[in-house]
Each structure stands twice: as structure tokens, then as C-alpha cells.
């Protein structure tokens, strides 16, 4: 999931997502140990995903009032509203 998609989720949803990804990471590590992991790059992708979610949560803690509302653009892309 991309960062702009994660920013649209609530804190509770992000925390749940972290828990799911950490479980997934532990399963991947186990598969690696027993030699059944088909794609070792999955480990890095999951770790980076967890870090991405934690970064967004930390940013919200440090800047709670700077959240800008996001408005969909006509092309379907997300665009921040001007101040």
C-alpha cells in the first residue's frame, strides 16, 4: 500500500495494519529458516511497509494540527487543498 493511501486511514486502522504486517513478517522469517521462502525480497518489502506505517503515525503525533484535507482531483488523483 502506498503512503498516500495509508494517510487516508485512521490511527486505529494503521495500528491494526502494523499488527497484521508484523505477523506476516514473522511467518516469512519462519519460512526463511525452514527453507520454504520463495522470494526473499518479500522480507524487505514487509519491513519497509511497517516502517512506512510507523512513520505516518509518528508524523501525526508530532503534527496533529497540520493535517491537510485531501480532495480528489478530476483525474482521480489526490490533491491537497491550498490554505
Residue 71 has pLDDT above 80, yes or no: no
Percent of the chain with pLDDT over 70: 77
Residue 11 has pLDDT above 70, yes or no: yes
CATH number reported for the structural domain that contains residue 71 in this entry: 1.10.287.310
Q: How many domains does the chain have?
A: 1
Residue 69 has pLDDT above 60, yes or no: no
pLDDT for 75: 65
What string of DSSP letters covers 8-39?
Answer: TS-HHHHHHHHHHHHHHHHHHHHHHHHT--S-
* Structural domain that includes position 44: 3-80
Let me know: does 52 contact 58? Beta carbons within 8 Å. Answer: no
Residue 81 has pLDDT above 70, yes or no: no
Question: In the predicted model, what is the mean pLDDT of residues 16-35?
Answer: 96
Amino acid at each position: 500500500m502506498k503512503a498516500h493511501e495509508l494517510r487516508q486511514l485512521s490511527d486505529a486502522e494503521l495500528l491494526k495494519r502494523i499488527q497484521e504486517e508484523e505477523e506476516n513478517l514473522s511467518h516469512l522469517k519462519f519460512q526463511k529458516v525452514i527453507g520454504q521462502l520463495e522470494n526473499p525480497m518479500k522480507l524487505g518489502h514487509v519491513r519497509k511497509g511497517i516502517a512506512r506505517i510507523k512513520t505516518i503515525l509518528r508524523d501525526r503525533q508530532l503534527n496533529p494540527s497540520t493535517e491537510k484535507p485531501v480532495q480528489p482531483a478530476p483525474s482521480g488523483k489526490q490533491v491537497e487543498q491550498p490554505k
